[in-house]
Structure 1
């Protein structure tokens, strides 16, 4: 994992555009040319991306996915979840499938996405993330193993002012250790839409929670355990990269780190006992 810098493969997709109007046609043409080479009409894998007001980020994400190096046939479906910016305009100019979900929330968006998916396997991606060219192969190699119904990969942060790469690296190492502890009895807590996959058959049987609430993907993963195992994909070939905007909400790196350490300390003891079965559609995040 990179300690002082981001991987070189990210640079070509990290466009400096601030808004839709800044994007020249040649960028769309170049991305579409790549998409036409890799997307399949008879996919084995469906990549679902929920997007709410991501007119520039979604372009970066899809540009990276368009460079995927795999022999596994796949499709990309973007779900426009009530965007009020130019997200739909961007999607209309890209050679990817897109659907609209009027019910606000990650769960409703992912639900309509999997209902429209053609693939046997689902990979969840976030609109503000970059995916390495080895991502599909690294994830599906694990997901297709006998008894595995759900997988999740790791993720790293792209540095920004106030959030230097070396500090982010330390946070990521701590996060990876915590993920190993959770994997023992509560692996579903590691299942984030930023880097997750599952067998569509079971996803359709379970369904996503149809309301705006965080943890929709973890709820699905929890119910998946009645069908098989949740597996962690540790390989950096499946590691996703994203900006630190979730950390920036805390105001500074120090505050972001301390709040996360405190939260994990409070619930550390409970990580060694399995969560009892419950209705994931009506439970809260308390």
Structure 2
């Protein structure tokens, strides 16, 4: 986790292109060379990405994943969730398994992805994020432990004007502290598709919610709790990196985003100590 600067990996994959037509063929060729080195027809790990209108972001994400260093054969599945831009064209140029899901929502897209996955383990990644080369190794290392059925990792924000890195660092530290309290009885509030993994066989038993709502990832985690342990991957070097658009939702600047999150967490803080699980009507609210 960086205090003053964004990580160096962003410089390698944060391509300046604005649309699919701008991307030189050489960029795809270089990414595919790396993908061919790590991809397998008999994978242990499936990296599953749902993409909606992400024609350039999905290239950046897959490019970062192409540098994966791990001891497991992997496959990368990208599900085009009925995009209206050139997301499909980008997927077709990359050496990944491309799928299409017409029904809108990460839940339907991820469900179709896990049905078609070959790996024993599924790692969820977001199309607009960057991943360090150790991410797969660190996630699976915890997921393979006895009785563990699901893991989630930490993530950091990419600084930009109005959201300096040192302020984001403070926010992330607070978020990490809160996650420790959530882990006691509410780990599903920490489970986001930006960095999450689970045993595919059990994921198929639980299934993703077939609706377009925010929280399908936490809902899956909640369903998996009856099969075993949910663990947090605390490795800072394995953090995923994402933009600040979720912080800016509703026109928020940094101060408003921080205040909003503090209020939300305070309102439900004491529920972290209640071991009673919610029913199937659970929906993630932040």
TM-score surpassing 0.5?
Answer: yes
**Residue aligning to 2:165:** 165
Matched, 1:273 2:242: no
Shift of 1:79: 0.5
For 1:276 and 1:95, how far apart are their aligned partners in 2?
Answer: 42
Stretches of 4+ aligned residues off by more than 6 angstroms: none
For these two proteins, the number of residue pairs brought into alignment is 284
Tell me: CA distance 1:2–1:44, structure 2 relative to 1, closer, same or farther (3 Å). same
Residues 284 and 131 of structure 1: is their aligned pair in 2 closer, same or farther, counting only changes over 3 Å? closer
1:25 maps to: 25
**Partner SS for 2:232:** strand
Structure 2 counterpart of 1:83:
83
> Is 2:182–2:189's contact at 8 Å kept on the other side of the alignment?
yes
Gaps of 5+ in 1: none
Output aligned runs, 1:90-129, within 5 Å.
90-129=90-129
Aligned residue number for residue 198 of structure 2: 198
**Per-residue deviation, residues 94-137 of structure 1 (Å, max 9, x unmatched):** 11001001111010010000000000000000000000000010
What's the TM-score once normalised by structure 2's chain length? 0.97
Matches within 5 A, 1:138-153: 138-153=138-153
Looking at structure 2, the residues matched to 237 and 198 of structure 1 have their Cα atoms a distance apart, in angstroms, of: 20
Say whether the 8 Å CA contact 2:215–2:283 is kept in structure 1. no
Task: Give the whole-Å Cα distance in 2 for the aligned partners of 1:42 and 1:96.
Answer: 14
Q: Which runs of 5+ in 2 are unaligned?
A: none
- Separation (CA, whole Å) in 2 of partners of 1:204 and 1:278: 19
Aligned residues: CA RMSD: 1.1
- Other structure's SS at 2:247 match: helix
Q: TM-score, normalised by structure 1?
A: 0.97
Distance 1:62 1:268 in 2: 36
